[in-house]
Structure 1
Amino acid sequence: MFKMQIISSCTILSLFVLNMLCTGNGKEDWNITFNPPEITAVPGLCALISCTFTYPEEAKPIDNVQWIVCTNGQCKKDRRIFKGKVITQNKIKLEEKKTETERIKMLEPDLTKNNCSIIMKDITAEDENEYAFRVEGQLKHKSTYKPTVKIIIQDEPIMDIPPLSEGVEASLTCSAPFPCPETPPEITWWIKTRGEHITNLKDVNITLITSRSLYLSTLHLTPTSKLHNATVGCDVSYGNKTISASRTLEVTYVQTLRILGDDKVMEGDTLRLNCTVESHPPSSDPVWSFNGTADKIRNHTSAENLMITNVRKEHAGIYVCEMTYMNETLNASITINVIRENLLGKDDLLNSSKKCKEAFQMQVDIRMIIGFLFGISVSAVIFSVVLCCHESWQSRDETQVVATNTDTEVILEVFYDQQGHQKK
């Protein structure tokens, strides 16, 4: 066992020594590391490319460093966008003042610190490329590093919306690039409902995660049916620069199935029923049944409507509407009562009503005649009584006048007839 450990240790040591011999006795070789290997930049802002590099001792001192645009893995010196001449103490001095190098700056001009990070200002859509870093040292010790960094242009935030269901809390995210440390972004959320009402959402429902290259804002939302087809958006502000994104919400929901229509119908009229339910996604077409069977009313249904003309007594009963929503069965029912107007038909009822009106009118006329005749009779009676009394008064044969003779104290009674002549 001990011998085996000795053999293993010797083997490992031999491999380590061999590796040092193959790599230049353990000295640093050409190597570069980008962190991150992709940079997301916003037009009009800046982009930070962070990197570190190493080079062999034989290449010292470094003469110049360059940044080159690469296409399909080909990095040619004629597409150079930056060149810095190394002066004393490994300090870099820009060599070409009138080129694009004016908008590119190395963060660390001392190459002994092995920092090759740069900031590119005033990013445009044309800057979406791969870039390589090149070092030219003494004699033939020159190298364009094979690993490259990529700049991606993003002119709006990226929104991620999971499937939404009514009453179930969901998390919506809005990510914005953070390419330039000088201008950290600020993210705000808003919602515009179907009634065109815009609501700015409060920070209480929002969490923010930041990193060197990304801002991620999460909106915690419990959707309702009112938010279906609403618009949700996030605005990202970088100082005076703002980028925005918006999406239409799709909320899965279903409301109560309803049957619309009157539950009382006159015999001979038309029965109209409507089966409706609001849902997303839409429910299936309805299936109607009457008193437990669909055969009797199959010819009276179309889509969500049921219509029966010339309703009769046998159409009274229970009508059921049934729909399917995402493997869930929905149903509603209504009890229809058929009301009979009369044993007679409508025409007979109208005729009877007309006859009643005529009879009533006739009764009114007879009463008026009887009243008129009764008035005449009473007037005649009264007139006869008055006339009789008058004649009775005039037919009195005698009118008594008493005269007193003061001389003889004899009372004389004189009688007159009807014409006023004195009777003897």
Structure 2
Amino acid sequence: MWVLISAALFLSLTERDTCNGQQQPPATASPWTITFSPAEITAEKGLCAVISCTFTHPDNIKPTTAIWFKCPTNDRCDKDKNIIFHSETPHEAQEDFKQRVSLLETDLTKKNCSVIINDIRENDAGEYQFRLLSSYTYSKKVKITVTALTQKPSVLTPPLTEGEPATLTCTAPGICSGTPPNITWTWRGTGDNITELRDNTTIQIREDLTHVTTTHFSTLTFTPSAEHHNMMVTCQVTFQKKYQIEETVTLNVTYLPVILPGSGCVDQAEVMTCVCVSQGVPLPVIEWPLLELNTERCSPTTSVLGSSVNSTISLTVGNHNNTTVECVSRNVVGVVREKLQVTQKGGKQRDLSEGCGNAVLPWTIAGVSLSVTVALLIYLSTNAYIRKQGKNVKPKEEESTYISLDKKYTSQEEYEVIARRP
């Protein structure tokens, strides 16, 4: 009797579980376990989510089919309408998930249920469950949270030297094997001038037992020049034609110094002042190889603005022939030399003397000389004016006697003035 009752109860429970669409393992079937690592995953829009998991099953089970479900709100997950991946019949997956979900390990005997979801969208957020075969759904769930795209591409810039070809590399964020992103290069020079450059996108894939790493990157090869220095280059990556992220770098180009217009010498009042302006990266050093010049006595004045150097030097001059003024600018790339043009202002042109001397004294003397000249001109002009007026204006009574003594001819009116003196 008890045997019949026990058998009836067992058959009743079996039929009820079968009606519910799920065959429950016996109470002693502890081998049915699943582990998610981690149990909650955060994914960014446009990238991908990797659900890493392992499972166990009874020894008498040979796993051949893997099914993943996305759980709806307030409803059971393991329904056909909730399937996002089916290893045997892929067409059963929801339309939004087709071609986006794949196992990282297709051999289920390795007990690896890890799956990757590519091209993550906002509505991918939620909970997911895994079923082995078509008979048992593991009760544990894994949760995916979807956030905005914040990961930036990585731009690798090698050392740049003028005239030597170089390659920039932009690597898109994420480890996704889904739709390749669109990668574009732009660069901005002076002002708002933006130029879009052609890109060369390459895919590099690396796989292991639990992960699939797919890297999308673009290379840009060009020959840098001095004009590229401080230019901003931007790599923009676009996922699914709507999720964009970018990274901007500033180029640092090493180039040979150049002596800029505006460099030259002015020779005036026994003093020659020379200016040399040079630009280069690294910052150049300016030298003045003047004949027998004692640089300790004649130190130039130097100022720096960005990648430009301005060097000014003042020297007294003498009567030495065949002397030239040369500016030399050098950095680690090389050396440039240029003979400076001398502009003569007043007086006979002279050449540089053997030494520096004091450049302030000649200017002082020139100032005093100029002041004396101006005073003399004022005096002569005033005297000429007085003499001119003396011919037309009648002299005062007290001055008439002395003035008349100097005259060779005197008018009658002047004698009458003398006669009236008491």
**TM-score, L = length of structure 2:** 0.49
**TM-score, L = length of structure 1:** 0.49
